[in-house]
Structure 1
């Protein structure tokens, strides 16, 4: 186990905070760790009729338009369930008839503490998407197996989407929910 000996705050932003730690390693030597702190997020696998609803949006850090499951960051003190309902409505205009948590994951634990809570939702159309300022999102509805093929072929590279589809597989392919 590593022990933080000194922590220096490098950056405080709206979404992340960056720290630099001097740490004592397991063998007693010292090193440095740069850590990105994040409040956490949710991602939702929305199922409408026989399709999964994805969103297509440009992601500046990778300079690409990506196909993803709807997702968003948790607000301070916000319950992940409430965030999932909010993000689903904002990004797709759909509302959940049924929603359940199917997993959680650390996005990149080598440098960040961000944890994403993943939900599966049976949805119905409600209205138009209401994306946040600066978000430009296109809704895409595809059969589950087509999304799996896009993942396998390397056309879907977003980690939360890959994990969300994998975690929802037993629910969407006719498998038992309580395996």
Structure 2
């Protein structure tokens, strides 16, 4: 990663200040090593912004997501912007593979981004000051009312969408003591118990298309 330069009209904007702060706090998200490479010379950024009428840097941040627009340089020197979405809490995101009495637990949930109901395993963003294993128990308590979670085992790590998401998600298989419908909690409408064969059939029939769930199930099968 190039050293951040000083002195330009863009250096005092909230987008660039927030971006520089994020580079200091989360260097792994800016480590580089290939092309396109991130341009951190603020003089180059300033010139590009003025010529192209765009914003570069930290554009938006919620408790869950951080939206960045990087200025990047290709090997031939061509400059362009690249959108990225990071998890605001950099680590600890999980997808669970919960099992109750030898069956998988799926929830049917309205997902705003696709404006549709989707069958999926429970999952959640990382949260400050709790471990991924604790996050597994928290998400399962909230989404399926599990009072006890046991035999928690990490089965792999997922990079859900390397085109835009700068996020790694850990997958965990576990057993739950009970299952409850938490109707209307975060859009949840149904809870269903399915055998491995039924889950495979749902995939074949395109009734289960959630990427986190497909990856988690594939990892579960490899770990059996």
Normalising by the smaller structure, the TM-score range is 0.7 to 0.9
Give the structure, 1 or 2, with the largest relative contact order (CA under 8 Å, sep 6 or more). Answer: 1
Unaligned 5+ runs, structure 2: 1-33, 41-55
Alpha-carbon contact 1:89-1:130 (below 8 Å) kept: no
Partners of 2:182 and 2:102 lie apart in 1 by 24
More strand by share: 1
Aligned to 1:4: 38
Q: TM-score, normalised by structure 2?
A: 0.70
Equivalent residues in 2 for 1:17-166 (5 A)?
17-38=66-87, 39=89, 40=91, 41-94=93-146, 95-125=148-178, 128=180, 134-166=186-218
Partners of 2:185 and 2:99 lie apart in 1 by 26
Q: Which one is further off, 15-24 or 5-14?
A: 5-14
Return closer, same or farther for 1:129/1:153 CA change in 2, 3 Å cut-off. Answer: closer
Q: TM-score, normalised by structure 1?
A: 0.86
CA-to-aligned-CA distance 1:96-132 (integer Å, 9 cap, x gap): 221100011111111111221100002211x746689
Shift of the alpha carbon at 1:134?
4.3
Say how many residue pairs are matched.
Answer: 171
Secondary structure of the 1:91 match is: helix
Alpha-carbon contact 1:44-1:120 (below 8 Å) kept: yes
Unaligned 5+ runs, structure 1: none
Partners of 1:65 and 1:135 lie apart in 2 by 9
Alpha-carbon contact 2:182-2:188 (below 8 Å) kept: no
Counterpart check, 1:15 vs 2:31: no
Alpha-carbon contact 1:148-1:165 (below 8 Å) kept: no
Return closer, same or farther for 1:19/1:133 CA change in 2, 3 Å cut-off. Answer: same
Partners of 2:184 and 2:137 lie apart in 1 by 15
Indicate the structure (1 or 2) with the bigger Cα radius of gyration.
2
Alpha-carbon contact 2:111-2:187 (below 8 Å) kept: no
